[in-house]
Amino acid sequence: MTDPDVNKMTAPTNQIDPSEVDLLPPVKTFPVERVLRVAIPIIMLGLLVLLWAWYVDAYDVPHYILPSPMRVATAMVTDWPILSAALVITLEITLTALGIALVGGLGLAILMSQSRWIELALYPYAVILQVTPIVAIAPLILIYAPTTYSALLICAWLVAFFPILSNTTQGLKSTDHNLLNLFELYGASRWQTLYYLKLPNALPYFLAGLRIAGGLALIAAVVAEFAAGSAGAQSGLAFRLLESQFRLNIPRLFAALILLSATGVVIFSITSLVSHLFLRKWHESALKREN
């Protein structure tokens, strides 16, 4: 600021307007607001459980219709060996499918952005696979796939793949034309344009796709397992759910259901967190509005 040479050269612009400086330090969230952000959802959940317990007790609801929270908790503990094994299977399928969808969707989107012809050739297949309901193709996949496990994996992957592909494609395409011109002007190679311009530009779109895909992968893993309906050591939570229903073991059904919801919530939170970490510095979606 006080370097004399600098002052000489840029005298008129050198004094920084105080209003411009004010923009810089981000306003910290007030602590009370932070605590409430966590506390309110937890209190709401607690109230729901209390209401549930009270209702079951007050109206004497039989436990094979609606078990009390206590019974469900007990089932969770006593059946934990069975449930946790199923949870691991479901998690494995969901996360593996999501991982492959992530790599495949991103890779295919990049490939399609490189040439209109490749895009024209491949896009119809992606769309057909997406719009065909998963339950309808699951039986076929079950026949073709070597194991039930791999069939479930394929189903979950098919569903998770498309949001990532279509979102990333959209993001790669919506690059600012002036910035593309700028890159051309400075003689950027195709690879440089992709790496320094198109991919960062597609990042918010890709992350939105990832968040959708995370939820869909879990849903597809469950739906496909319903369709498969097979037993064995490789059964996931969905099978345990069906099984509990047949045996009228409603507390265990609820426990499995709660585990499924919790899994969904955790996947959503992780993908949202990842998205926030990547975008918090610059993207409108992750920034607090300060006017």
Question: Which listed residue (2, 33, 133, 178) binds another protein by CB under 8 A?
Answer: 178
CB of 10 to another protein, least distance (A): 4
Question: Which listed residue (59, 117, 125, 186) binds another protein by CB under 8 A?
Answer: 186
Phi/psi zone of residue 47: left (φ > 0), alpha (ψ -120 to 50 degrees), beta? Answer: alpha
Question: Which listed residue (281, 288, 289, 291) binds another protein by CB under 8 A?
Answer: 281
Smaller CB separation from another protein, 198 or 211 = 198
CB of 274 to another protein, least distance (A): 16
Measured distance CA(52)–CA(251) in Å, rounded: 14
Binding of another protein by 13 (CB under 8 A): yes
Question: Which listed residue (63, 71, 173, 283) binds another protein by CB under 8 A?
Answer: 283
Q: Of 50-58, 115-123, 197-205, 215-223, which part binds another protein (CB under 8 A)?
A: 197-205
Smaller CB separation from another protein, 18 or 62 = 18
| Other Cβ atoms within 10 Å of 257 Cβ, number | 15
Per CB under 8 A, which of residues 23..62 are in contact with another protein? 23-24
Per CB under 8 A, which of residues 57..86 are in contact with another protein? none
Binding of another protein by 12 (CB under 8 A): yes
Q: Of 3-11, 74-82, 100-108, 155-163, which part binds another protein (CB under 8 A)?
A: 3-11
The residue count for the chain: 291
Q: Which residues bind another protein (CB under 8 A)?
A: 1, 3, 6, 9-10, 12-14, 16-17, 20, 23-24, 176, 178-179, 181-188, 192, 196-197, 200-201, 203, 281-284, 287
